[in-house]
Amino acid sequence: MEPTREAQQPAGTATTAAAAGGQKPKPCCVCLETKKARDSCYFDHGDGAEQKCHYLVDAHRKCMADFGFKI
């Protein structure tokens, strides 16, 4: 038996009724925790953010890819 969509999604993501029904959720409604952490890092580090926040950007990209978004 395969795990459900909820079991496969990364921690800190939003689940919508549409996602449970098999429809693709809106990009704004998923990966909220990784998005918040990435944005905070960029605001905190300014010019040095590219080097200091790359791991958060990668985590957010992976989360979005897990929902089927190509960014």
Could you state, in order of their start, the residue ranges of all structural domains in the chain? 5-66
Q: Is residue 53's pLDDT more than 70?
A: yes
14 within 8 A of 36, measured Cβ to Cβ: no
Q: What is the pLDDT of residue 21?
A: 58
Q: What is the pLDDT of residue 24?
A: 84
How confident is the prediction for the chain on average, in pLDDT? Answer: 79
String of DSSP letters for 17-63: HHHHTTPPPPGGGS-HHHHHHHHHHHHHHGGGHHHHSHHHHHHHHHH
Q: Is residue 19's pLDDT more than 80?
A: no
The 10s digit of each residue's pLDDT in 20-52 is 556 889 999 999 999 999 999 999 999 999 999
Q: What is the pLDDT of residue 71?
A: 84
